[in-house]
Chain A
Amino acid sequence: MKCTDVYLFLCDNLDEDISSPRCREIRKHLEGCTDCSTYLASLKKTVVLYQTFPAPHLSRRVHARLVKAINSLPRPAGTTPRRRRSSR
C-alpha cells in the first residue's frame, strides 16, 4: 500500500465507514505513516471548517420582497383554486 493509493482513497471515502479488507489495509498504513494520517486530519478539518462556516440569515426584508413579488404574479397557467373548480 503506497501513500499515493491512500491519498486517492481518503479523498474518495472521507465520510464513509471503512470496514472492508481494503479499508483495513488503509487503516494499517495510516497507523504507520505520519504523512498520510496528517493529511487525513487536515482533509477532514477542511470539510469541518466549511460545515461550520456561518451563513448569513435570511432577512425579513428579503422575505417580504419575495412575498410581494409572488402576490403580484398572475396564477400560473393551468391552475385553478379548488373552490372555484368545484363550483363548475
Chain B
Amino acid sequence: MKSSELKALPDERIIAAAREGERRAFAELVRRYEDTVYRFAYSLCREREKAEETFQDTFINVFRKLRTFDGRSKFSTWLYTIVTNSCLMRHRRRKMRDLEESLEALDAPAAGADGRFVAAVPRWEETPADIMMDKELRAQLDAAIRKLPDDYRLVFTLRDIEGKSTAETAAIAGLSEEATKSRLRRARAFLRQQLNPYMTAGDGGRK
C-alpha cells in the first residue's frame, strides 16, 4: 500500500496493517503519533536528552509489542502507558517518600476554628500567561514541576496538560480514580505553592 493511501486510513486499519508487519503502516503510525509521544515524554522527563531516549524506546517497544495490543483500550492510551513505563517505571517512587507527607499536608491548609485561612492569600499578577512566558518564568515552572514525585507529575501532566479524563489518566498511571484525584489535587496545590513567591508582587518575588 502506498504512503498516500495509508494517510487516508483510520487508525484501526493502520494498526491492523502494522500488526501484520507492514513497515509502511508502522511508519504512518509513527508519523501520526511522534509529536504527541515526544511532547508527553518531555513533559514527564523534563530533560531533552531523556525525552529523546524515551521517544525512541517507546516506538521500539510499540514495534515489538504491537501484536499484544488487543484494542480494548484506545491506542493512544496504550501509547501513553508505554511512554510512562519507559520514562518513569525504573525510578518510580524514588522521590515519593520524601515528599509524600508534605503533599498530604496540602489537603489541610492552616485555618482558624472558623475555617478561614490563617494567612491572607496574596494576589498574583494579572499579566497574560503568553506575555509572561519568559525564560525566567519557564525556569521557575520547570523547577517546580521537577520537584513533584513521579506519580504526581504524571497525573498532573495527563489531566491538566494532555487533557485526559480521570478514568484514562487512572488507567495509564495504574492508579485508582480516587488516588488519581487526590494526586491531581495535591499536585495543583503544590505547584501553585511553589510558584506563589515568584508570582506575588513584592516580598522578593517577581520584579
Which positions in A face B, CB cutoff 8 Å?
2-5, 7-8, 11-12, 14-15, 34-36, 38-39, 41-43, 45-58, 62-63, 65-67, 69-71, 73, 75-76, 78-82, 85
Q: Do residues B137 and A43 form an inter-chain contact, with CB atoms below 8 A?
A: no
- Give Cα distance in the complex from A58 to B3, angstroms: 21
Residues of A within 8 A of B195 (CB): 46, 49
| A46 contacts B66, C-beta separation under 8 Å | no
Q: List 22 A-B contacts (CB under 8 A).
A: A3-B111, A3-B116, A7-B109, A11-B188, A12-B181, A35-B116, A38-B124, A42-B196, A43-B192, A45-B129, A50-B156, A51-B161, A52-B129, A54-B133, A55-B43, A56-B51, A63-B34, A65-B56, A66-B59, A70-B26, A70-B60, A76-B65
A38 to B201 Cα, complex, angstroms: 14
Contacts between the two chains (Cβ within 8 Å), count: 145
Additional 18 contacts, C-beta under 8 A, given A4-B111, A50-B191: A3-B116, A3-B117, A4-B108, A4-B109, A4-B117, A11-B189, A38-B121, A38-B122, A41-B123, A42-B123, A46-B195, A48-B129, A63-B34, A66-B56, A67-B30, A73-B60, A76-B66, A80-B20
Contact flags (1/0) for B171-207 with A, using CB distance below 8 Å? Answer: 0000000000100111011011001100100000000
Q: CA separation between A57 and B51, bound complex, in Å?
A: 11
Residue of A nearest to B160 (CB): A47
Query: Which residues B9-67 have CB closer than 8 A to chain A?
Result: 17, 19-23, 26-27, 30, 34-35, 38-39, 42-43, 48, 51-52, 55-56, 59-60, 63-67
Q: Report B101 CB to chain A, min CB distance, Å.
A: 18
Report the 3 A-B pairs with minimum CB-CB distance, sorted nearest first: A2-B115, A79-B21, A11-B185
